Amino acid sequence: MKITDLKCTVIGENPVIRITTDDGIDGYGQAENSKPYLCPHVLFYKPFLIGEDPTNVERVMQKIRRLGGFKPWGSAVSAIEMALWDIAGKAAGVPVYKLLGGKVRDTVQIYNGGVRFPMNGTSPQDYADNVALMKAAPQKFRLIKMPIGFHSTMPHQVPNFAYGDPHESRHQSNRGLMTEQGLKHVVACVEAMKSVLGDEIGLALDCGPGWMVPDAIRLAKALEPFHITWLEDLITGDYVPYVLADVYREVTRVSTTPIHTGEQIYLRQNFRELIESHAVHIIGPDPADIGGLAELKWVAEYADLHGILMAPHGIFDGLIGLAGLVQVCATLPANFIAFEYPIARPDWWYSIIEGLPNPIVENGQIKVWDTPGLGVRFNVEAAKAYLPVGDENFFD
């Protein structure tokens, strides 16, 4: 079997790639819906793939892996890797989890990142009201993640939140020393959320990046009584192209509140220092950014050797990305907590993808399916209606 073509289009908000072969088997991958600009970068890799056997996944990946980078530039490599596994599974007639070593669990735990309700403001009552809606959601989430601090609108809406002026640019993180008033506001919001969730539902907090070490330590220690599941991306995080393991360790070693990071990190080599120095308690690579499914599994197993927990990111990964998360997380060791649940954007994606369980989530978990490859497929006739002008031949 040989690869004959690599295509990329944007369906709705998500870049979607398709790899075709001379055997008539194709495979699909998906990048985050925040990256509609990614298609030209995907197609850069086309000359490296044509003529290769797609079932030799690692051999193909060795040709392109070094040509990616930290979020967002590892996304193209990651989507290609998922599509290769999709082909390999279909060719062998088995689900991808079989090719990754076999499943160790029949259902995978998820945490809520994708099912969101509008926030009316940033007061403690606003946060309490919002998590009450999530608690009542039909998915019956056992773990919810909420944005606070520099990963929220607090810097813009809470008076005297931090020293310095907040930035408006999405990719320029707000960063600086917090005021006493600002820190107390964050703690009050957490207390309000826990008053709603109690000890029935875990609460994780997406915090930054942007916290300075003294504030990160103060926050972690102040939240110890609330049994927070983790504090995510305090120092580095989304679109930050470096790790700063030594800085994270300054926070991790002085508090019992679990510290989490890793969504933007590309490749196993860039997780090494975090893991080996025990700089954090939990890592959260995104399969759509780390370099793919096998890369994520390798990191999870290495983390397990060092007593580090695993909670993969995935909020923007779409329905093909969801399938990839289910397949790989079924194979992870016991350090796996849960992965972040992505939803379709726009909602009509649910009408063009087949193979997902209905309902997808029950009691906060997803049952692992046994369909070959990633186990999901396009309803091609339905999907064609959403192809952008110029990409009408994507499915041909």
Q: How far apart are the first and last CA of the chain?
A: 19
Quick check: 340 and 305 in contact, CB under 8 A? no
- Written as six digits, the tokens of 3 are 């690869």
User: Rounded to an integer, what distance in angstroms lies between the CA atom of residue 378 and that of residue 355?
Assistant: 9
- Which SS3 state, helix, strand or coil, does residue 16 take? strand
pLDDT per position as a tens digit, 358-394 = 999 999 999 999 999 999 999 999 999 999 999 999 9
Close Cβ partners of 324 (under 8 Å, ≥ 6 residues apart): 29, 30, 82, 85, 96, 287, 288, 293, 317, 374
pLDDT per position as a tens digit, 196-206 = 999 999 999 99
Choose among 327, 303, 298: nearest CA to 314: 327
Amino acid at 193: M
Q: Which DSSP helix (H) or strand (E) runs through 89?
A: helix 75-92
User: Rounded to an integer, what distance in angstroms lies between the CA atom of residue 334 and that of residue 322?
Assistant: 20
Q: What is the pLDDT of residue 165?
A: 79
Close Cβ partners of 340 (under 8 Å, ≥ 6 residues apart): 110, 111, 113, 114, 145, 284, 311, 312, 313, 314, 315
Q: What is the pLDDT of residue 175?
A: 85
User: Rounded to an integer, what distance in angstroms lies between the CA atom of residue 228 and that of residue 204?
Assistant: 6
Choose among 355, 373, 361, 321: nearest CA to 108: 361
CATH code for the structural domain at 98-374: 3.20.20.120
Q: In a structure prediction context, what are the per-residue pLDDT tens digits for the chain, which is 396 residues long? A: 999 999 999 999 899 999 999 999 999 999 999 899 999 999 999 999 999 999 999 999 999 999 999 999 999 999 999 999 999 999 999 999 999 999 999 999 999 999 999 999 999 999 999 999 999 999 999 999 999 999 999 999 999 999 987 776 666 677 889 999 999 999 999 999 999 999 999 999 999 999 999 999 999 999 999 999 999 999 999 999 999 999 999 999 999 999 999 999 999 999 999 999 999 999 999 999 999 999 999 999 999 999 999 999 999 999 999 999 999 999 999 999 999 999 999 999 999 999 999 999 999 999 999 999 999 999 999 999 999 999 999 999
Whether 3-93+379-384 and 98-374 share one fold: the answer is no
Q: What is the pLDDT of residue 173?
A: 72
Q: What is the pLDDT of residue 302?
A: 98
The number of helices, as runs of H, and strands, as runs of E, in the chain is 14, 14
User: Rounded to an integer, what distance in angstroms lies between the CA atom of residue 138 and that of residue 127?
Assistant: 19
- Which SS3 state, helix, strand or coil, does residue 352 take? coil
Model pTM score: 0.97
Q: What is the pLDDT of residue 121?
A: 96
Extents of the domains making up the chain:
3-93+379-384, 98-374
Cis peptide before 166 (omega within 30 of 0): no
Say yes or no: domain 3-93+379-384 is CATH 3.40.50.300.
no
DSSP 38: G
Q: What is the pLDDT of residue 169?
A: 66
